[in-house]
Amino acid sequence: LVPDSELGTTAPSLRFSKTCLKNVFSVILLFIYLLLMAVAVFLVYQTISDFREKLKHPVMSVSYKEVSLYDAPGKSGNKQNGCKHHYYDHIPPLINPGQPGDIKCTTQRINYTDPFTNQTMKYALVVQGPRDVKKKELVFLQFHLNGTDQDFSAIDYLLFSSFQEFINSPEKAEFMKDCESSYSSWKFSGGFRTWVKMSLVKTKEEDGSETVEFKQETSVVNYIDQRTKPRSDQLFFVVFEWKDPFIQTVQDIITANPWNMIALLCGIFLALFKAADFAKLSVKWMIKIRKRHLKRSRQVMNHIS
């Protein structure tokens, strides 16, 4: 048998130990809440920083669009001797090279002033390029140069994206000046057959405009001149063909998605509010337990008294 006095002293001690454990547990939960709040604040800061960094540094996106027909490009050259369209990479043997031959291409002759000096007059022959990439359509052009005072013989040419735009332009001289100032020019040499394989690259700018650029792969084959009489003129041969049916499109894409950031921030703030409610309830529970413990302590002291 345990005396009543020992029972009275044991029960309050057990209540005190349970209350102490509950208080310690509540303090631990409160520290966990503070830690989670610090992590959430760090995540908010990191998310906003990443979003601003992605806005400053967009990512380049490259896509390819397959086409069966290209918009016929335009080619600007001079001193044409012949022009024909062929298919499937087949070019028949030359007939009377150096003499005027058949011109079975759509051409336009244009005079315009040099866009850089605005004084020198230039002459250009604009030729409609190939369209049917599936049938490997190509344009075979022949040129000749009777004489030159230069050390090296070559013909300049440039490419622009749409021959139809040139035809529809009311100011063709201004159109050619704009093309020469905007696009790069290339050369092909005399005494060779230059085979040019073209590919088209479209670049979308930030303001919504679109620029067009040609990429070229060239191969050069020596021309064996079998004409009997000695000739002082130079012969030029050039072939234009599309490399493949794919148009490359390049544009800058901002990978930062504001909706993802908003969703993440909403989730973080919701977690903070829930944790704050939990901490508030924990503090109230601790105060309630403390008051209950003080009340019992007073009751015990009154009983002892």
Q: Evaluate if residue 178 carries a pLDDT over 80.
A: yes
Residue 260 identity (one-letter amino acid) = N
Strands 154-160 and 138-145: unpaired
Question: How many Å separate Cα 189 from the centre of its chain?
Answer: 36
- Mean pLDDT in residue range 49-57: 77
pLDDT of residue 13: 56
Least confident of 39-43, 109-113, 158-162: 39-43
- Which DSSP state fits 114? -
Question: How many Å separate Cα 250 from the centre of its chain?
Answer: 4
Q: Evaluate if residue 6 carries a pLDDT over 50.
A: no
Q: Evaluate if residue 283 carries a pLDDT over 80.
A: no
Phi, psi of 179 (to 5 degrees): -65, -45
Q: Evaluate if residue 282 carries a pLDDT over 50.
A: yes
Nearest to 247 by CA among 69, 22, 18, 43: 69
pLDDT of residue 54: 75
| Residue 5's pLDDT band (cuts 50, 70, 90) | very low
pLDDT of residue 49: 80
Q: Evaluate if residue 194 carries a pLDDT over 50.
A: yes
Please, are residues 95 and 101 in contact by the beta-carbon 8 Å criterion?
Answer: yes
- Which DSSP state fits 66? E
Q: Evaluate if residue 171 carries a pLDDT over 80.
A: yes
Task: Give the residue, 291 or 163, on which the prediction is more confident.
Answer: 163
185 forms bridges with which residues in the sheet? 158
Phi, psi of 59 (to 5 degrees): -100, 135
* Dihedral sign, Cα of residue 155, residue 158, residue 162, residue 167: negative
- Which DSSP state fits 119? S
Q: Evaluate if residue 114 carries a pLDDT over 60.
A: yes
Give the whole-angstrom CA distance, residue 292 versus residue 271: 31
- Mean pLDDT in residue range 250-277: 73
pLDDT of residue 134: 85
The proportion of the chain whose per-residue pLDDT surpasses 70, expressed as a percent, equals 75
Task: Give the residue, 108 or 289, on which the prediction is more confident.
Answer: 108
Give the whole-angstrom CA distance, residue 119 versus residue 123: 13
pLDDT of residue 21: 67
pLDDT of residue 7: 43
The proportion of the chain whose per-residue pLDDT surpasses 90, expressed as a percent, equals 0
CATH 2.60.120 fits 65-253, yes or no: no
Q: Where are the domains of the chain?
A: 4-58+256-304, 65-253
Q: Evaluate if residue 15 carries a pLDDT over 60.
A: no
